[in-house]
Amino acid sequence: MRDDDASWDEDVRLAVYRAFAGRGRAPSAPELADAAGGSLAVAKQALHRLADAHHLVLDEWEHVVLAHPFAARSLGFSVMGSRTLWWGGCAWDSFAVPHLVAAEPEVLIATRCPGCGQPHALVVNRAEPPEGAQVAHFLVPAARMWDDVLHTCAHQRLFCCESCVDAWLAASGEAKGYVVDLVTLWRLARGWYAGRLERGYRRREPADAVAYFAEAGLTGPFWAPAGRV
């Protein structure tokens, strides 16, 4: 039996991500224990280390809330494949699901515009960006996204247009962040989580993240991360 933390961490990480990818939910306590050699205590220790390393997000009850791009509860997006229904963590994450889950090359993403309440449904696949006039607004810059990641994800939303973004900002009192069209959002999501369902996944270093963002068409101070992302 292995007793090194890194081995259990990777087994538990994979159990979490593969449960979300395959069934749209976090693994059960027995499933987590199985991934940690039969010990739920070891699994919980691994979950906390994974949260500290920004691989996932836990709530106060030690439940997995986010394992990007998947969420355990509604954060404004449902993502429906042919076999599985997910909660998307945000606009970015929702667009990433068909790129990450090999068995689901096309999904139907449903959400509402925070500015006017208009419902939106978009078919997103891995072949080409969806058509539409909608835009995504990112409130929190990359360097601060993990300061309060639930707040960050809750404010990466799809709007009807930039006028709806401005209306929401005026009503909420928030400062404007960064607005992208659907093509740029799709490019951002396309390869961001590549390899996350495989053993040995590593988060991007800042320079790698900046290069990836630039390839998607995102440059400038807003997209300069402070650490691994």
Same domain (yes/no): 106, 209: yes
Is residue 229, in this structure, part of any structural domain at all? no
The enclosing domain of 18 has a CATH number of 1.10.10.10
Same domain (yes/no): 155, 91: yes
Average pLDDT over residues 177-203: 97
Domain end, chosen from 67, 89, 116, is at 67
Domain end, chosen from 67, 82, 111, is at 67
Q: The whole model's pTM is what?
A: 0.94
Is residue 101, in this structure, part of any structural domain at all? yes
Same domain (yes/no): 99, 179: yes
The enclosing domain of 129 has a CATH number of 3.30.450.410
Phi/psi for 98 (5° steps) reads: -65, -20
pLDDT at 1: 39
pLDDT at 59: 94
Is residue 45, in this structure, part of any structural domain at all? yes
Domain end, chosen from 67, 88, 104, is at 67
- Looking at residue 150, the DSSP 8-state letter turns out to be H
Same domain (yes/no): 59, 83: no
Residue 132 in tokens:
């539409």
Same domain (yes/no): 57, 118: no
Residue pLDDT, tens place only, 98-116: 999 999 999 999 999 999 9
Q: Is residue 152 predicted with pLDDT exceeding 50?
A: yes
Total tally of structural domains belonging to the chain: 2
End-to-end alpha-carbon separation of the chain, Å? 32
Bridge partners for 181 per DSSP: 135
How many DSSP H helices and E strands does the chain contain?
A: 8, 10
226 band by pLDDT with thresholds 50, 70 and 90: confident
Same domain (yes/no): 136, 96: yes
Residue pLDDT, tens place only, 56-68: 999 999 999 999 9
Average pLDDT over residues 24-30: 96
- Domain carrying residue 52: 5-67
